[in-house]
Amino acid sequence: MAKLYFRYGAMNSGKSTGLLQAAFNYEERGQRVLLAKPDVDTKGDDQVVSRLGMARTVDIMIPAGASVTELFNAYAAGDDPDALLEHVDQKPVACLLVDEAQFLSAGQVDDLFRIAVQQNVPVLAYGIRTDFRTRMFPGAHRLMELAHTLEELKTICRCGRKAIFNTRRIGDEVVFDGDQVAIDGQDVWYESLCGSCYLEASGGRLGA
């Protein structure tokens, strides 16, 4: 039986870089992978973009409310989901890689679990655990509950300690108001901080 993996960390912990490296490793061995991400993540449009400058177009953009199982089955059957009834000679999918998995719904994470367990396809989901108010994203929450394997990807705070929180900023101001999802670069930016630096930056505040 294949497994569902959740590889999580604060921003700038190398999640997208790790995903692209995993895809390369599979393909170097002649195996087929599918890349997916929620369509709410508009950074890079339909690409997974690493802060190191690497980028790759995803195979599946996942809309809110969509069945990930149905999307996976469609793209696994062939490159053109509009021609699913035609026979397409494709290698079986060796791995499904999901970027920004925190933006998925709980039900969509359930689909990832089913793909791993029922279809025997390893699923590697990458994402962050908590938002700028230290609250867990719904997708991350469900991944924490279901994933067979949890792997923390570490990054460092500006002070040199391990960063665990993501602060949202407008200019130099730390903010706690606004939607849970605001993509980096859309009038906001984020900084990964340790607990001590987060409390210092927020004036001792933890969430809304």
CA distances from 27 to 35, 47, 57, 87, 90 (A): 12, 18, 15, 23, 14
| The residue to which tokens 């890689």 are assigned | 97
Annotated active-site residue 27? The verdict is no
Catalytic annotation, pick one of 27, 28, 86, 100 = 100
Q: How far apart (Å, rounded) are the C-alpha atoms in residues 45 and 38?
A: 11
Beta bridge partners of 55: 49
Could you give the 3-state DSSP secondary structure of residue 26? helix
Encode burial over 109-135: b for 16+ CB neighbours within 10 A, e otherwise. bbbbbebbbebebbbbbbbbbbbbbbe
In the chain, what is the greatest distance between 2 CA atoms, to the nearest angstrom? 61
Closest CA to 69 of 96, 102, 91: 96
Show which residues are catalytic: 100
